[in-house]
Structure 1
Amino acid sequence: MRDIWKAEWRLTIRQRSSYTFVFLWIFVLSLLFLLERNNPALTGYTNMTGTIANIVLYIVPLFMLVAGSFSIANEMENGQWSLLCTYPLPTIAYWVGKLCGQLTAQSAIFSLSFSLSLLVGTLLGSSLSLKWVLILYIFSISLIWFFLVIGLTIGSFSETRWQALILSVGVWFFLIMIWPTAVISVLSFVPYPMIAPLLKASLFCNPAELLRIVFVVQLDGGAVFGQSYDELISFMQTKALWVLFVGYMFIFSSIMLAFSVWKLERKKRQ
């Protein structure tokens, strides 16, 4: 697993496309921070805060889905996976090594661009709250984790990079772009008393939606979700939230790992 981790880390860091991501984030975040430089400090949930969170929510999942799926699909396509199958390498170790290598590299790339954009914004007069910066950073790193996990699962089910790309874009479009519409459409067929419980349960089916709500609540903007979310928002304002969040992260990743290992083992036997 350690060798897979190191190989994935080196391969990702050496790719020129990785540094395109750095420049993209520096440009986007610096621009948003500069737009707010004449306003009070970014401390709570404001229009600008929501804009920054939405941009992160749109870009990070797509990049991570493509990066994660290509990580495995590329080896399927060029025959390297068949070569690896001849070694005594457990499938779980292979998948976890891929995840750790991608997570390390992508987190380092984002952290570099995020810190540089904060430096640019601060030097040019933006007033940034430490709490706001930390919450936005944790929100972004969590998105990187969840969507790398999903991306690696997509790669496990793909035979070529083209197939991985199509599946990645499809999953991104469903989970990010049309998720609220899809949930509302499905809930329109259930009895009214069941709508609120099912609406809350649906949050755990989409990590992006759950992270978005946690981000807003931590910035004291929970009132925007309405009365039906009052109990959930009250819970999210307690320290128990982080215990639940870590548990959710572990369970979600374990489920994705189980599906991926099952598919990869089938490919080995074929």
Structure 2
Amino acid sequence: MWNIWYSEWRMAIRQRSSYMLLLLWVSVLSLLFLLERNTPALIGYTNMTGTIANLLLYIVPLFMLISGSFAIANEMENGQWRLLCTYPLPTTSYLIGKLAGQFTAQTAVFTLSFGASLAIGLISGSVLSVKWVLALYIFAISLIFFFLVIGLALGAFVATRWQALTLSVGVWFFLIMIWPPALIAVLGLVPYPMIAPLLKIALLSNPAELLRIVLVVQLGGGAVFGQSYDGLVSFLQKGAAWGILGLYVFIYTSFLFILSAWRLERRKAQ
């Protein structure tokens, strides 16, 4: 497992795309902070918070899905997976090593870029709340983790990088781009009493939407979601909600890991 982690870490930090992503985040986030340098303080859920959150929501899942799926699909395509099958390496250790290596590398890249952007913003005169900064940072790291797990699951079901890219873009487009209109279209076909329960079920099936709601609620903007989410907003404002969210992360991750391990074991048997 540690060898897999180290291999993924070294491979990620050697790729030019990682440094291009770092420069992208520094450029974009720094520009946003500079535009708001005349604001008295960046605190709570503001237009700036929504802009940065949407930016993270659009870019991070796509890059993580592609990175996670390519981590496995590349070895499937070049034959390295067959070589690994000859070693006494458990599939779970392989997946954990892949996830840990990718998560470490991607988190390091984002942390450096986010820290550099904050430094530029502070030097330029922006006033930043510690809670505001931590909320956005945890939001981004959570997106990285969830969509790396989904990306690895996608990689376990494809044979080439082209298939991985196509499937990753398709999943990203559904979960991020067309999720709201698709949800509205489906809910328009069901009886009114079923709308609220289906909204909550749909929310749990899309980690990006759940993380967005948690971010907005923690920054005091829960009223924007309307009456259908009143109960959920009140629950997320309680301390016990963090334990439930931790359980959700465990169940979601375990399910995808079991699914990925089952598929890889089938391929190993073939």
Structure 1 residue 236 displacement after superposition: 0.5
* Equivalent residue runs for 1:102-141 within 5 Å: 102-141=102-141
Alignment root-mean-square deviation, CA = 0.7
CA distance in structure 2 between the aligned counterparts of 1:240 and 1:29, rounded to whole angstroms: 33
- The residue number in structure 2 matching 1:187 is 187
- The residue number in structure 2 matching 1:178 is 178
Describe the superposition over 1:27-54 as per-residue Cα deviations: whole angstroms up to 9, x where unpaired.
0100111111111211011111101100
* Equivalent residue runs for 1:210-221 within 5 Å: 210-221=210-221
* Equivalent residue runs for 1:152-167 within 5 Å: 152-167=152-167
CA distance in structure 2 between the aligned counterparts of 1:148 and 1:248, rounded to whole angstroms: 16
- The residue number in structure 1 matching 2:59 is 59
- The residue number in structure 2 matching 1:29 is 29
CA distance in structure 2 between the aligned counterparts of 1:83 and 1:165, rounded to whole angstroms: 24
* Equivalent residue runs for 1:1-270 within 5 Å: 1-270=1-270
Alignment coverage as a number of residue pairs: 270
Describe the superposition over 1:6-40 as per-residue Cα deviations: whole angstroms up to 9, x where unpaired.
11111111111111110000001001111111112
Structure 1 outlier segments of 4+, above 4 Å: none
Structure 1 residue 128 displacement after superposition: 0.7
Which blocks of at least 5 consecutive residues in structure 1 are unaligned?
Answer: none
Letter in 1 for 2:106: Q
Letter in 2 for 1:37: R
CA distance in structure 2 between the aligned counterparts of 1:104 and 1:238, rounded to whole angstroms: 30
Stretch deviating more after TM superposition (37-46 or 76-85): 37-46
Letter in 1 for 2:55: I
Q: Secondary structure at the match of 2:39?
A: coil
Relative to the length of structure 2, the TM-score reads 0.99
Relative to the length of structure 1, the TM-score reads 0.99
CA distance in structure 1 between the aligned counterparts of 2:242 and 2:29, rounded to whole angstroms: 27
CA distance in structure 2 between the aligned counterparts of 1:37 and 1:189, rounded to whole angstroms: 46
Stretch deviating more after TM superposition (120-129 or 135-144): 120-129
CA distance in structure 1 between the aligned counterparts of 2:93 and 2:42, rounded to whole angstroms: 42
CA distance in structure 1 between the aligned counterparts of 2:133 and 2:241, rounded to whole angstroms: 19
Stretch deviating more after TM superposition (57-66 or 191-200): 191-200
Q: Secondary structure at the match of 1:128?
A: coil
Q: Secondary structure at the match of 2:220?
A: coil
Work out the percentage of aligned pairs sharing the same amino acid. Answer: 70
Describe the superposition over 1:202-236 as per-residue Cα deviations: whole angstroms up to 9, x where unpaired.
10000000000000000000000011211110110
CA distance in structure 2 between the aligned counterparts of 1:197 and 1:3, rounded to whole angstroms: 45
CA distance in structure 1 between the aligned counterparts of 2:196 and 2:60, rounded to whole angstroms: 29
Letter in 2 for 1:33: F
